[in-house]
Chains A and B, each alone.
Chain A
Amino acid sequence: MSMEELQGQLAACFNIGDAASQQSAQTAYQYTDMLKSGQISKEEYTELMADIARTNEINKSVANVQLMEYMNTAINGLINLASMI
């Protein structure tokens, strides 16, 4: 499969899946364009593609912490409320 075909597959992902997947596909497409135009080397391209996965992992971890913080606020709010009754 050629690079153009693979890039075409990425373009097909622009409007499907969740927002994070769409963003990842657009970023990967942009990096592929930069590689083709010689703005970045092959090694740099590989590293940037790996960064897409790392960034997604960071986003997932951050979302988990946000959920915990929300729950912590709710639990402590209910405990405070119960102590007032």
Chain B
Amino acid sequence: MRGLTGIIVKKKITTKFGNNHMKKIFISLIAMLSLSGCMLLDSYLMTKYDPNEYKLITDVRAEAQTYKTQCEDAGLSKQNSIKLAYDSQLFALYSEHIPRNKDLIKASADLHLIAQGLADQYIKSDKVSTAFCKIKFDSVEKSAEKIQTVIGSKPR
């Protein structure tokens, strides 16, 4: 009787979603069973999408994208680097106490260190090279884009 029910259920699913869909579900199931229980639970309970977090990282990315084109102007770049360091700090602090968010807390802290490194050079010395300025802003922009992608893809 139990076997017959199984066959009927399988037939219903196959009819509704097709064989390819069944295969994908089966593969997902196997992948999940091979992971530890903690990881499964972490995935299931992961932090939901937060529009404020997304806004903050988008600001950091947009600033870095704009500022890297202004590196020829040392005075302006000094101000820009300080602004970016502050905004990346704001993002890191905002992320810091979001529960079940350890990877993004780490990423935001690392991003802030990259941005702060440029501001520190401008504060220490008036002779910051244009190449260094461009590479730094570019690093922040690229990393911010990667972080933005995963924040935007969080479950809603």
Contact = CB atoms under 8 A, between A and B. Distances in A.
Report, as a range, how many residues of chain A touch the other chain. 20 to 34
Interface residues of B, number: 45
Interface in A18-53: 34, 39-41, 43-44, 47-48, 50-51
B131 A54 contact: no
Contacts of B43: 67-68, 71-72, 75
B52 to A, nearest CB: 17
B62 interface: no
B146 A68 contact: no
Contacts, number: 107
Main secondary structure of the interface of B (DSSP, over half): helix
Given A66-B150, A72-B43, 17 more contacts: A39-B129, A40-B129, A41-B129, A44-B129, A58-B146, A59-B146, A62-B150, A65-B107, A66-B153, A71-B35, A71-B43, A72-B44, A72-B155, A75-B40, A75-B44, A78-B25, A78-B29
Interface of A: 34, 39-41, 43-44, 47-48, 50-51, 54-55, 57-59, 61-62, 64-69, 71-78, 81, 84-85
